[in-house]
Structures are given as C-alpha cells and as structure tokens.
C-alpha cells in the first residue's frame, strides 16, 4: 500500500513530494510539507486509496536535534487499510518562531482539534487552521509542555505549581 | 511572522459581538448532563442554539507527559484513568501495542488472551450500562439509571475480585496478567450471565420502546455517515450512522477472530438513520453481543484452556522493556470507539520519547457543534448524552 501511495504521489507531484519510506513494524511515508495538502486531498479522494478517516495527528519533538515532526495516521473505511504520513520540520525552538505546517482541517475535520492539541502541547503552528487556540491548557498558559526543553513555571496566577 | 494569538482574538471577537437579541449561556463545567467537567458555551436566540463552543481541559492530567517520563509498565495505571469506565479496554490496547513492538504478541498463551477478552467485555457491558442509564437520566427517566447501576455493580464486584480494585484495575500487564482469575470466577460469571439476560429484556421494555423516550430521541441530532467519518467519529457513534466498522473485526486482534459475534448498526427504526435513538440502540445491542462473547470465553476457559497448577500468568512479563528506536500506532475498539496509542520509542532506554493517546470521546465530542446548531437547548442535552463522552479521556 505504502509503495503504491508513494508511486502515485510521485507520478502526480514529482520526486520531491514524497521524500522517503521509513521501514519498520509500520512503514511511514515521509512527505514534503509544501505538498502536504495536495497529497492529503489525493489520498482521500482517489479510487484505490480513499483514506477518508483520519485517526490521529501527533506532534513529536526530537530534542536535542532541532527537528519536529507531525505524524498523520490515516485509515480507509472502504478498503480497511492504514497509512502513516509524516512531515519533518527543522526549527530552532524559539517561542516566537514556531515550526509551521499547513493545516489539513478542511480535508478531515478530525484534524481541527488534533491540530489544536499539537499547537497547545508541542507548539506547532498550523497555517490556515480555522480556529487555532489552546485546547487543553488555559488560554494564557506560556510555553509548550510536551517540548523536551520545557521547564515548569513556578506559579500560575499566584498558585504555586511546583 | 504569523500571529499565534489570531485564533484567540477571533474567539474573543465572536463573544464580544453577540447581539442584544442573542444570549451566551454556559452549560457546565458543573452540570450533571455534561457527565463530568465539560463546559459548553452556547450562543442562543431564545431557546434555539445558534452556536456551541466547547471548552475542554478541566480534567487535564497530563497523560502524555507522564507517559514519556516513566517506563511502559508504570504507564499502565495511567491508561486506566483515561476512560475510567472501561479501564480494562484501555490497558488492553496499550499492552497490545507494547507487546507488538516487543514481538511477543504471538507467544501470549491462549488462556491469558481469553481472560483478557473476558474482562474487557465485562467492562464494556459496565461502560454501556452507564451510558444507557445516565442517558435516561439526562432526559428525565430515573428508574433505568438505578436498574443499570444495580446490574453494573455485579460486574464491578467480579472485577474487584479478580484485580483487587473496583474501577482502576491495572490487571492486564505487558506479556501477561497481574494474577490468574480467582478460583470460582467462571462459575460466578456464568451465574451473572444467567441473571443478566432477562434484565436486558426488561430494559428494552422500560426504556428502548418507551414512547416518551422515543419522542425525546428519535429524529433528534441525526448524524449522516459522511459527516461522522469526516469528524473521526468511531464506535457506536459511527455504527449508528449505518457503517459496519468495528476494529475487533477489522484488525482482528487478540482472540476476537475465534469468537462469533455480530456488529450491530443503526437502522433508523424509530426515525432518521443516525439519530439519538439509533446511537442508544446500538449500545443496547452491543451489550447483548458482549454477553455472547462472554459466554464463548467462559466456554473455552472451562473446557479447552482450564487453569493448571503450574500456569503462571506472569511467565512472559519482561523484566525490562527493551525496544529499538521505532514508531508504532496501535488501535483497539473501546466501548466508546477507536482508542489509539502512538508510540515513539528511544534506543537504549525503556522510557518512550512520545506516547500520544487518541481518545475516542475526544473525536466524538468534536462533532457536537455540528450536531447541535439550530437545535433546542433541551435537545442539545439529549444529543450530548447520546455521544456518551468520558471527560477523563477527552482531557487526558
């Protein structure tokens, strides 16, 4: 499945769209973030793939490397298959310069809340998201707790939290 | 540079620009019909809901952060606290993921797998009984709630006997179980099944076919199948919309392929396909299927895989979970839908880099603004109840 998907993506968008296949227990297709939305539309709407169900999105921090990745777990209900997409972003982890990935919330509405969660906890900015606010933490929270270099604040609104 | 506060500003703008005819009403976080600490901000016009803005996070206990600061074995009790009404199912999913990464999932003895399925299905019944009972209470029927809790109590007592705890079991371990089932468990479980079957008929008479209940739930909050898929709804939510999608069959994990059971789907019997009554009915039917699964498990456990004196349920439990650097996504069918765990492991340590839990309620709840727009406030409560959320899993 993953080789077919890679071939179809390369046929459609060229060599640079699908970067690599990470082998393993579950192979992962690493794609170019610039083509992410086109690839997602293609995988959702093309016969033979029909990945209409987005199970999960997770943001991963590869500290101490200056790299983040966003992993998309897709499933196809008509064909009962699964596919994993991944985008890697280089970022120097400054709080005013978040890693940026295009939002897929207009392709699968599941992505809406999952992207908000990744923004909230890992600090990944999804450009084009309709409503990118923090979801689990309070709106005025500072920092992104699931980053490996995150340090807990001493207090929140005068409440000691350490 | 993009404005990272744009979403927040838009939200504040939206609340500030409510007209004098409209009103902002908070449902929750301390409202019984929200089944926990969920806060819904409603923009209403008279009794009609114009928009719904859910606010989550009141029960956020940092599952992801905890999971990546300790080893896999220690994380199992935390998974129990995700969907605390179905703890067995949560730890089963988590444990299966780790076992597959270790490559020992095929080596687990059949007796252990059957015990796992048995306790998971008992827990599924308990979870659905709460869903059914509290749904009755949400729309004004008190008796079903008491009846369901009475029957659930038997399950709680049995699972407490097996694991030592009433709700948060830590019973399923990586590579095995905490203990074998106590002697006599199978007989007591059989007695329970015999006791429980007529109660399900009573429940149908009391609630499912009750005219008041039907009037409150049929044709309310119909969820079309394409919308359900696009919002990532799973479990009874998706099946009520007519899609036969059950991961126990699709992924065929554990010993489910050896067990005979049906997948109930919504048929639109009382109204539109995918309405609140369908979602309720799918759960009732699933309880009946779970009873069938339990009977088959008990049959196998007392005939083919009997307890032997030298049987050690911890024989395969690893001393240390040593994994190479890899990624794995495991999904399993919880009472509420697809529970997934995404593991990113690290070399030379048994502490994962990242564990993300994909809670079914989190995704099922995200469809609420779509379903509730344009409905009456009273119907919104009926819709929310039919989604059957557990806040432990929405907020994690």
Question: Cis (ω within 30 of 0) for the bond into A160?
Answer: no
Q: What total number of domains does chain A contain? A: 1
Cβ <8 Å between B2 and A125? yes
Closest partner residue to A26 among B327, B366, B370, by Cβ? B327
- Given this model, what pLDDT does residue A4 score? 83
Under the banding of pLDDT at 50, 70 and 90, the label for residue B332 is very high
A38 touches chain B (CB under 8 A): no
- The average confidence (pLDDT) of chain B is 89
Q: What total number of domains does chain B contain? A: 1
- Given this model, what pLDDT does residue A13 score? 84
Chain A CB contacts of B362 below 8 Å: 113
Chain B CB contacts of A136 below 8 Å: 56-57, 60, 395-396
- Given this model, what pLDDT does residue A111 score? 92
Q: How far apart are the first and last CA of chain A?
A: 48
**Which chain B residue's Cα is nearest to A80?**
B250
pLDDT over 80 at B371, yes or no: yes
pLDDT over 80 at B30, yes or no: no
Chain A CB contacts of B250 below 8 Å: 80
Q: Cα separation of B101 and A29, whole Å? A: 19
pLDDT over 80 at B284, yes or no: yes
Nearest residue to A99 via CA among A134, A70, A77, A72: A70
Strands A155-156, A125-127: parallel, antiparallel or unpaired by DSSP? unpaired
Strands A155-156, A159-160: parallel, antiparallel or unpaired by DSSP? antiparallel
Residue B232 falls in which region: left (phi positive, over 0), alpha (psi -120 to 50) or beta = left
Question: Cis (ω within 30 of 0) for the bond into A19?
Answer: no
- Given this model, what pLDDT does residue B314 score? 85
Q: The domain that contains A49 carries what CATH number?
A: 3.30.460.80
How many CB contacts within 8 angstroms connect chain A with chain B? 102
Q: What are phi and psi of B251, to 5 degrees?
A: -90, -15
Contact B361, B390 (CB under 8 A): yes
Which pTM was predicted? 0.90
Nearest residue to B271 via CA among B218, B329, B204: B218
A87: helix, strand or coil:
strand
Write down the residue that tokens 């593991």 correspond to: B343
Q: The domain that contains B337 carries what CATH number?
A: 1.10.645.10
Closest partner residue to B56 among A56, A108, A135, by Cβ? A135
Cβ <8 Å between A56 and B342? yes
- The answer to whether position B334 is within a domain reads yes
Average pLDDT over residues B187-198: 92
pLDDT digits (tens, 9 = 90+) for A134-146: 999 988 888 898 8
**Which chain B residue's Cα is nearest to A135?**
B56
Q: Cα separation of B388 and B274, whole Å? A: 14
Under the banding of pLDDT at 50, 70 and 90, the label for residue B329 is very high
Under the banding of pLDDT at 50, 70 and 90, the label for residue B378 is confident
Strands B176-177, B172-173: parallel, antiparallel or unpaired by DSSP? antiparallel
B3 touches chain A (CB under 8 A): no
B244 touches chain A (CB under 8 A): no
Contact B317, B174 (CB under 8 A): yes
B231 touches chain A (CB under 8 A): yes
Its ipTM equals 0.89
Nearest residue to B172 via CA among B180, B161, B183: B180
Chain A CB contacts of B62 below 8 Å: 145
pLDDT over 90 at B32, yes or no: no
pLDDT digits (tens, 9 = 90+) for B256-269: 998 999 999 988 88
- The answer to whether position B333 is within a domain reads yes
Strand order through the sheet with A53-61: A18-22, A28-31, A81-90, A67-76, A53-61
Strands A18-22, A28-31: parallel, antiparallel or unpaired by DSSP? antiparallel
Interface probe, candidates A22, A53, A141, chain B, greatest B C-beta count within 10 A: A53
Identify the domain containing residue B371 by its residue range: 63-395
pLDDT digits (tens, 9 = 90+) for B91-146: 999 999 999 988 888 888 888 999 999 999 999 999 999 999 999 888 888 888 99
Q: Cα separation of B230 and A51, whole Å? A: 10
- The answer to whether position B324 is within a domain reads yes
- The answer to whether position B91 is within a domain reads yes
Identify the domain containing residue A104 by its residue range: 2-160
B284 touches chain A (CB under 8 A): no
Exposed/middle/buried for B205, CB within 10 Å: 0-12, 13-18, 19+? exposed
Chain B CB contacts of A137 below 8 Å: 57, 60
DSSP B212-265: HHHHHHTTSS---HHHHHHTT--THHHHHTT----HHHHT--TTGGGS------
- Given this model, what pLDDT does residue B120 score? 92
CA distance A117 to chain B (A): 10
A42: helix, strand or coil:
helix
- The answer to whether position B30 is within a domain reads no
| Weakly modelled stretches of chain A, pLDDT under 50 | none
B252 touches chain A (CB under 8 A): no
């Amino acid at each position: 499945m993953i080789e077919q998907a890679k071939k179809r993506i390369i046929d459609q968008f060229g060599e640079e769209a699908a970067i690599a296949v990470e082998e393993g227990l579950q192979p992962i297709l690493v794609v170019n973030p610039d083509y992410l939305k086109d690839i997602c539309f293609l995988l959702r709407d093309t016969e033979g793939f029909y990945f209409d169900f987005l199970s999960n999105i997770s943001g991963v921090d590869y500290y101490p490397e200056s790299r983040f990745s966003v992993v998309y777990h897709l499933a196809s209900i008509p064909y009962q298959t699964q596919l994993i997409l991944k985008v890697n972003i280089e970022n120097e982890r400054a709080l005013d310069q978040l890693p940026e990935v295009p939002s897929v919330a207009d392709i699968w509405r599941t992505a809406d809340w999952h992207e908000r969660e990744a923004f909230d906890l890992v600090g990944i900015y999804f450009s084009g998201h309709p409503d990118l606010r923090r979801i689990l933490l309070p709106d005025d929270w500072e920092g992104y707790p699931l980053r490996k270099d995150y340090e807990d604040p001493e207090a929140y609104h005068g409440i000691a939290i350490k | 540079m993009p404005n990272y506060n744009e979403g927040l500003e838009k939200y504040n703008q939206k609340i500030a620009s409510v007209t004098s005819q409209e009103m902002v009403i908070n449902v929750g976080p301390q409202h019984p019909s929200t089944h926990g600490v969920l806060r819904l901000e409603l923009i209403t016009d008279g009794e009609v809901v114009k928009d719904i803005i859910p606010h989550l996070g009141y029960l956020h206990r940092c599952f992801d952060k905890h999971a990546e600061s300790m080893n896999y074995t220690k994380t199992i009790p935390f998974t129990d606290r995700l969907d605390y009404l179905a703890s067995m199912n949560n730890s089963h999913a988590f444990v299966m993921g780790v076992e597959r990464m270790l490559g020992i999932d095929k080596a687990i003895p059949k007796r252990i797998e059957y015990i796992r399925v048995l306790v998971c299905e008992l827990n599924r019944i308990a979870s659905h009984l709460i869903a059914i009972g509290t749904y009755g209470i949400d729309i004004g029927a008190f008796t079903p709630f008491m009846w369901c809790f009475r029957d659930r109590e038997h399950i709680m007592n049995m699972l407490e006997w097996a694991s030592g705890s009433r709700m948060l079991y830590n019973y399923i371990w990586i590579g095995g179980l905490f203990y074998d089932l106590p002697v006599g468990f199978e007989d007591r479980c059989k007695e329970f099944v015999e006791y429980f079957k007529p109660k399900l008929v009573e429940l149908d008479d009391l609630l499912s076919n009750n005219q008041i209940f039907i009037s409150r739930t049929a044709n309310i909050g119909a969820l079309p199948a394409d919308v359900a898929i696009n919002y990532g709804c799973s479990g009874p939510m998706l099946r009520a919309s007519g899609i036969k999608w059950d991961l126990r069959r699709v992924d065929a994990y554990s010993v489910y392929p050896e067990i005979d059971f049906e997948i109930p789907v919504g048929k639109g019997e009382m109204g539109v396909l995918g309405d609140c009554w369908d979602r309720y009915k799918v759960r009732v039917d699933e309880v009946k299927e779970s009873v069938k699964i339990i009977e088959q498990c008990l049959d196998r456990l007392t005939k083919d895989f009997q307890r032997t004196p030298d049987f050690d349920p911890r024989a395969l439990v690893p001393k240390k979970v040593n994994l190479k650097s890899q990624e794995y996504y495991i999904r399993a069918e919880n009472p509420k839908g697809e529970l997934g765990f995404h593991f990113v492991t690290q070399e030379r340590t048994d502490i994962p880099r990242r564990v993300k839990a994909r809670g079914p309620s989190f995704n099922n709840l995200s469809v609420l603004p779509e379903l509730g727009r344009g409905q009456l406030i009273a119907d919104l409560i009926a819709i929310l109840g039919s989604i059957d959320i557990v806040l432990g899993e929405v907020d994690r």
